Amino acid sequence: NAGVMQNPRHLVRRRGQEARLRCSPMKGHSHVYWYRQLPEEGLKFMVYLQKENIIDESGMPKERFSAEFPKEGPSILRIQQVVRGDSAAYFCASSRTVESAKNIQYFGAGTRLSVL
Amino acid sequence: ELKVEQNPLFLSMQEGKNYTIYCNYSTTSDRLYWYRQDPGKSLESLFVLLSNGAVKQEGRLMASLDTKARLSTLHITAAVHDLSATYFCAVTQGAQKLVFGQGTRLTINP
């Protein structure tokens, strides 16, 4: 049973380019979460999605960032016109349910974005 | 706004010693998690604590939860080098969002 799969593992972009980060949840999981981790800091929530729906995007910057989780295929976190401050590790997590006792979020290996 | 604070942020200890990491959170939450992260790696789930007085143990690690004090502890017994990592606590805000502490970087020296 494969875990949460993220790709690419490392992504280098120049300022102004677009970054696309992909996340395939664990089998049987329909809830996906994106978090950002700056160096030497904890993870900060960005967005929570279920299939085809954004449930909570309260942690997403208002501009340049978007996320989707289509009916078919992986969840995508898209960053347009990247700036140096976007350099961070972006982690995706998935869970099977949101019921209290069973809602463990399993994390992928992360995508480390470097903006030159 | 829910805030989660860990202390200490850095901890260097010798093998064989015991120590405790503390996690305080500012508002009521129904779940508390402990995760481990090795450098450059993802987060590994260690414990999920759901109720007041909950205690869970796995090997040399034991986690407890006091919801009245809004405090969780992660206790390390007779530390070994393999436990060197960064440990995060996180609590749920709403049904799904995790709010993380800053992390405790633990280094265990021979």
Query: Is B46 a residue whose pLDDT tops 90?
Result: yes
A44 contacts chain B (CB < 8 A):
yes
Averaged confidence pLDDT in chain A: 91
DSSP character string of A14-64: -TT--EEEEEEPPTT--EEEEEEE-TTS-EEEEEEEETTEEEE-TTS-SSS
CB interface of B with A, residues 15-34, below 8 Å: 30-31, 33
b/e map A77-105, b = 16+ CB within 10 Å: bebeebeeebbbbbbbbbbbebeeeebeb
Query: How far is Cα B16 from Cα B78, in angstroms, rounded to an integer?
Result: 4
A110 contacts chain B (CB < 8 A):
yes
Q: Do A42 and B88 touch (CB under 8 A)?
A: yes
Q: Which H or E element spans position B76?
A: strand B71-76
pLDDT at B95: 67
pLDDT tens per residue across span A60-88? 999 999 999 998 899 999 999 999 999 99
In contact, A91 and B42? CB cutoff 8 Å: yes
pLDDT tens per residue across span A24-48? 999 988 899 999 998 878 899 999 9
Collect all residues of chain A within an 8 Å Cβ-Cβ radius of residue B24.
none
Q: Do B95 and A98 touch (CB under 8 A)?
A: yes
Q: Do B100 and A33 touch (CB under 8 A)?
A: no
B101 contacts chain A (CB < 8 A):
yes
